[in-house]
Amino acid sequence: MTHSVARAPARCLQRFASLVSALLLLFLAAAPVVANAAASFRVVQQWTAADGLPAETVAGLAIDREAQLWLATYDGVVRYQGYDFRHYNRDSKPALPGNRLMAIHAAPANGVIVHFEDGRLGHLTEQAYTPIDRAEAGQVVVFDQQLWFIQAGTGALLSWSARDGLTPRTARLLSALAVDDFAGQLLLGTRTGTVLTGFGNAGRVKELPHFGDEPVLGLAAGPNGELLALDRLGARLYAPSSAGWTASLATRWERPQQRALRATWTGQGWLLANLVTASGAGPHRLDRSGLRALVVPEATGVDADRSPGRIYRMDARGQRWINDGQRLWRDGQLMFGSDERIHDFVVDPFDQVWVAQPMRGLRLLKQSVIDTLGHEPGELPDPNIYLVTELDGDILVGSWVALSRLDPATGQWTQLLRRAARDVLPDGDGLLVGSQGLCRLQAPGQCARVDGFPGGEAEVLMLHRDGGGAVWAGTDSGLYRRAPDGHWQARTVDPARVRTALEDPAGRLLFGTDGDGLLVLPDRAEPELPLTRIGPSQGLASAFVRALLAVPGGATLGGTEDAGLCLVNQRLEVVRCLSTSGGLPHHSVHYMLVDAHDRMWVNTNAGIYRVDLPSLLAFLQGERDSVPAFSRFDDREGLLSVEGNGGVYHAGAMTADGRIWFPNQLGLVVIRPERDIQRPDVPLAARIRITGATDEELPRRVRHARQLDLELTAIALAEPQNVQFRYRLASDSAWQPLGTRRQLNFRNLAPGRQRLEVQASYPHSDWIGPPARLEFTVDYRFHEHPAFRGLAIALAALILLAAWQIARRRRQALELSVRERSVQLAHATEQLTRLTGSLRRVDLRHRTAMHAVSRELKAALNAVMAPVLKQTGKPVTAPQARELRSLARTLNALIEQLDSLDETDSMDPDIDQRDALDVGANQAAMPARSDKNRPAPGNSADLMARIHMEVLLHLGDADFSVDDLARRLGMSRSALYRQVAGSHGTSPAELIRELRLEQAIRLLSESDQQVSTIAYATGFRSVSAFSRAFSKKMGTSPRHWRDRYSESSGQSDGKRIKAPSARRSP
């Protein structure tokens, strides 16, 4: 009795221990949330149907030998090479026999093995689809450069390769197939419970001892040679020994299993999938303590299975990855955890993990190089921060709302000040805080205004302490200085809006401004010295300077707000600038920091980029021709927002552990440069395709337009945005760099055969990838063909020869004609000279005689007519007297004109003889122009005669106007209009036109001159004006009038009959 009572507490204690152990195991199994916090991989990008996937659920993943990612879905197959998706289904080229797939495997050579829901197997490449056979689910593996599967229906083991086709391997009726990665052999299970090993490294097939008659549903191998066989009723464990194989029953299922099971070894036991228990299907763990179910999400209509489709893989480095349904492990270390089921996964050569989760499309996992903090509730009051600086190992963060502090070791946030903070600076036992004015923070929430600060309420953008202890405050009202003794200088050092500062090794202070470029103080201890300004006129790309970085050699690298980077040497000369047009990822620069590997990290408005600083300086200094490669980091690398912040002095920091901290619109960005390891030298395969076409639609002939627009891609699953390209159009030409550009456009291609080569590579890697080649022929246009060109050259030569012969003969004939004409001209010149002398002598005699006659006439006229002119009474009437006096005056004027002929030296031989005779006749018929002999205004006949004379004297002058006529007559314009209207019934202008037309009619009837010559000779400005005036007057054109006049008038003794006058009688 006593003994049994004493044993009761022991049994209770044992039961309690068992309960605690069960709870502990349950806790460990339910630990994905805790484990997820320690996982080093995170989701950096996700693709769904909105991004080009045909379905939200991916059934399987595979990476082929060219490092392309392939996805099996319920709507066909998708290929992704890092740039875009290509869809294969029933309607594509090549076409698939169906759209619903349940698995996909990397093919032994190229392409993939696709496994459809109806059991069909096929080999799919980019160019073709080849059917293979049929197999059940879970009975297909790729091993030893071949495809192995159990043929559906027969149970026979077959292998397949593109070179050898199908090969039968064994006639045993098989039910399970697996790969032993530890021993490099195949594991086979028969329908009668037998386990076979062989092929591969094992050579011949071995049969393990038979311990049951149930069909084998699943197989797995351990690192020490142990094998786990799963049948319909339970699991048997085979262990090698000196005597052979020993088998033991590992466990028995709660209920018989009907479908294929999957298993793999892990460091914590065996992981089983597809096992159906009372709680449903899901993953289980089998170890020495027994079988237990792993905690998975509840089954849904979309995801009722809850078991992972792929439970293990081996990566390129030989590391073993395990998928227990919600967590991924690598060699026993947790890499990733999720609250949703992980159906399949695959690891690429760049240590990236691609994950397929039900209704979540495709996800990419990477080790976090960049993370964002402060965006979770309860961390930062406003994640839109712009101030980041380091203080005693902590990170100070400022926003428009508050100033906060982060303890990097614990991740704890502390709010220091509930107000905007633009910059901070440790000062004595406190902290200077720049905001709307300047205050001193001595305790959280307590910031007293700084006495003596001359800036008042001006916004403080920068606080800097130089090497001499002076404090500089850049505000929106100017730059202020506090001396080392603590006294503020009353006046601004410069009115510019300063927001960054740098002290170079020479003791000079450089200030970056907002609109005034770069200001340089030659000596920090002499603030009164004039500042040197470096702006766009001195070569700076922009006047808005946001960041300054000291680089080797005493130079300074300046980051601008809108124009990239500029290098200023020690002599304050702008060496060179680099912007987006030259290859810079973005034009804005918020802050620059250099890590321990001499890599410069730059925060911008479009993400963060990294560049090798020595390579960048070598390019800016002209020591290398090509722009260095830039690596860009965006949302794929962990940034919640690609838009960085800055605009203040301290917009970034680097802590002692090497981490870099940048402000962002959605929190504090943390960069771990040590994780940004160099990418492996994986050859990148470049691809060429026509813009807007598929890969197969490559040109073979380029016609007509002679232009080619191409898109370049590369199989680059890691950082495809950073892939560099180069090309050459002929094999003997030099490579032309393209940077990250993916478009290639050719215009005016030369005719003939062409070959384009394109290569791709990662930044800082060698060009080791095979070039993509495109060979095509550019058609000749008709005139560009060599035969046509030869014919054209020969024809041109014949034409030139004929033209030369013709020109030679014409030149000879012209020379002969010139000689003959020269002789004739010399003879005519001699005759003209003699004739001119004779004319001058005759003219002199004529003038002398006329002068004598005029004197005699005048004397006689004066003697005879003097009494008559003075007589005013009878028998001569007054009208007769006036008529007689008018005639006398006219005769007197004629005598005076004859007397004036001797006033000219000689007759101008260039005057046309006909014009000279007309002028003489008119002068003889009209009164003189002297004022003393001018007839009275009332004498209309005398006035009309003078008008007729003046018009004829200026007949060829088209500019002769009414004003000129009035001036010649010594009358006003109005008086002339009254006189002409009264005597002629028309205006002076019309009278002038009638007189011109009268002379034109005379020339038309009496001469053979052209109409145009007559028009210009009679004072008309154009032939059309003459024709309109003539037609209006005569009713027909001048040419028709001349023709009708010639026909009607007839000829008499070879002379024309004089045409009637067109002038209206006065």
Q: Which residue is associated with the tokens 């003539």?
A: 1030
pLDDT at position 459, please?
A: 93
pLDDT at position 124, please?
A: 97
Residue 366 has phi, psi (to 5 degrees) of: -145, 155
pLDDT at position 409, please?
A: 87
Of 90-99, 587-596, 840-849, the least confident = 840-849
DSSP secondary structure string for all residues of 42-61: EEEEEE-GGGT-S-S-EEEE
Instruction: Give, for 443, the enclosing helix (H) or strand (E).
Output: strand 437-443
In single-letter form, the type of residue at position 470 comes to A
Q: Which stretches within 877-961 are classed as H helix?
A: 878-899, 913-925, 940-953
Q: Examine the pLDDT at 956 and tell me if it is beyond 50.
A: yes
By DSSP bridging, strand 772-778 and strand 701-702 are parallel
Residue ranges of domains in the chain: 39-171+343-369, 372-675, 686-779, 841-910, 915-1066
Q: Shortest CA distance to 544 belongs to which of 518, 508, 575, 510?
A: 518
Alpha-carbon torsion 482, 483, 486, 490, what sign?
negative
Q: Shortest CA distance to 279 belongs to which of 291, 264, 263?
A: 291
- Structure-block tokens of residue 489: 């200088």
| CA–CA gap between residue 665 and residue 635 (Å, rounded) | 13
pLDDT at position 1059, please?
A: 45
Q: Examine the pLDDT at 384 and tell me if it is beyond 80.
A: yes
> How do residues 277-303 score in pLDDT, each as one tens digit?
877 788 999 998 889 888 776 655 545
Measure Cα distances from 157 to 152, 176, 207 in Å.
10, 10, 15
pLDDT band at residue 22 using 50, 70 and 90 as cut-offs? very low
| CA–CA gap between residue 758 and residue 1000 (Å, rounded) | 84
pLDDT at position 853, please?
A: 60
Q: Shortest CA distance to 40 belongs to which of 351, 264, 275?
A: 351
What are the beta bridge partners of residue 388? Answer: 397, 651
pLDDT at position 782, please?
A: 74
Percent of residues, the chain, with pLDDT higher than 90: 46
Q: Which residue is associated with the tokens 């009209």?
A: 926
CA 1016-1019-1020 angle, to 5 degrees, is: 70
| CA–CA gap between residue 206 and residue 546 (Å, rounded) | 73
pLDDT at position 693, please?
A: 64
Instruction: Give, for 976, the enclosing helix (H) or strand (E).
Output: helix 973-984
Average pLDDT, the chain: 83
The CATH number given to 915-1066 is: 1.10.10.60
pLDDT at position 909, please?
A: 41
> How do residues 545-583 score in pLDDT, each as one tens digit?
999 999 999 999 999 999 999 999 999 999 999 999 998
Average pLDDT for 371-396 = 91
Total H helices, total E strands in the chain: 13, 68
Q: Residue 790: helix, strand or coil by DSSP? A: helix
The reply to whether 372-675 and 915-1066 are identical in fold is no
| CA–CA gap between residue 428 and residue 25 (Å, rounded) | 56
Q: Examine the pLDDT at 905 and tell me if it is beyond 90.
A: no
In single-letter form, the type of residue at position 984 comes to H
Does the predicted model carry a pTM greater than 0.75? Answer: no
pLDDT at position 929, please?
A: 38
Q: Residue 907: helix, strand or coil by DSSP? A: coil
Of 412-426, 587-601, 632-646, the least confident = 632-646
Q: Shortest CA distance to 950 belongs to which of 929, 979, 978, 924?
A: 929
pLDDT at position 931, please?
A: 40
Among the four given CATH numbers 3.40.50.300, 2.60.40.10, 3.40.50.10800, 2.130.10.10, the one describing domain 39-171+343-369: 2.130.10.10
Q: Residue 548: helix, strand or coil by DSSP? A: strand
- Structure-block tokens of residue 182: 């530890």
pLDDT at position 114, please?
A: 97
Residue 137 and residue 260 in contact, taking contact as beta carbons nearer than 8 Å: yes
Instruction: Give the contacts of 1044 (CB within 8 A, at least 6 positions apart).
Output: 1036
pLDDT at position 472, please?
A: 96
> How do residues 531-549 score in pLDDT, each as one tens digit?
999 999 999 999 999 999 9
> Which 3-state string (H, E, C) describes 725-785?
EEEECCCCCCCEEEECCCEEEECCCCCEEEEEEEEEECCCCCCCCCCEEEEEEECCCHHHC
The DSSP call for residue 553 is: G
| CA–CA gap between residue 163 and residue 782 (Å, rounded) | 48
pLDDT at position 227, please?
A: 94
Q: Examine the pLDDT at 663 and tell me if it is beyond 60.
A: yes
By DSSP bridging, strand 518-521 and strand 532-534 are antiparallel
Of 74-78, 162-166, 375-379, the least confident = 375-379
| CA–CA gap between residue 676 and residue 1045 (Å, rounded) | 108
Q: Examine the pLDDT at 1063 and tell me if it is beyond 60.
A: no
Of 60-69, 337-346, 731-740, 1022-1031, the least confident = 731-740
pLDDT at position 857, please?
A: 66
Percent of residues, the chain, with pLDDT higher than 70: 82
> How do residues 969-1014 score in pLDDT, each as one tens digit?
888 888 888 888 888 888 888 988 888 888 888 888 887 888 888 8
Q: Residue 642: helix, strand or coil by DSSP? A: coil
Q: Shortest CA distance to 522 belongs to which of 538, 540, 541, 503?
A: 503
What are the beta bridge partners of residue 726? Answer: 737, 759
> How do residues 199-245 score in pLDDT, each as one tens digit?
865 567 888 887 778 999 999 999 999 999 999 999 999 998 887 88
> How do residues 44-55 score in pLDDT, each as one tens digit?
889 999 988 999
The CATH number given to 686-779 is: 2.60.40.10
pLDDT at position 741, please?
A: 87
pLDDT at position 919, please?
A: 38
> Which 3-state string (H, E, C) describes 231-248?
ECCEEEEEEEECCEEEEE
pLDDT top residue among 984 and 601: 601
By DSSP bridging, strand 607-612 and strand 599-604 are antiparallel
Q: Shortest CA distance to 187 belongs to which of 178, 65, 354?
A: 178
In single-letter form, the type of residue at position 1035 comes to G
Query: Would you put residue 633 in left (φ > 0), alpha (ψ -120 to 50) or beta?
Result: beta
Measure Cα distances from 97 to 102, 103, 139, 695, 875 in Å.
14, 15, 20, 21, 143
Q: Examine the pLDDT at 155 and tell me if it is beyond 50.
A: yes
pLDDT at position 690, please?
A: 81
Q: Shortest CA distance to 464 belongs to which of 518, 503, 507, 514?
A: 503
Average pLDDT for 119-134 = 95
Q: Which residue is associated with the tokens 């001469």?
A: 1007
Q: Any idea which architecture 372-675 has in CATH?
A: 7 Propeller (2.130)
| CA–CA gap between residue 135 and residue 122 (Å, rounded) | 11
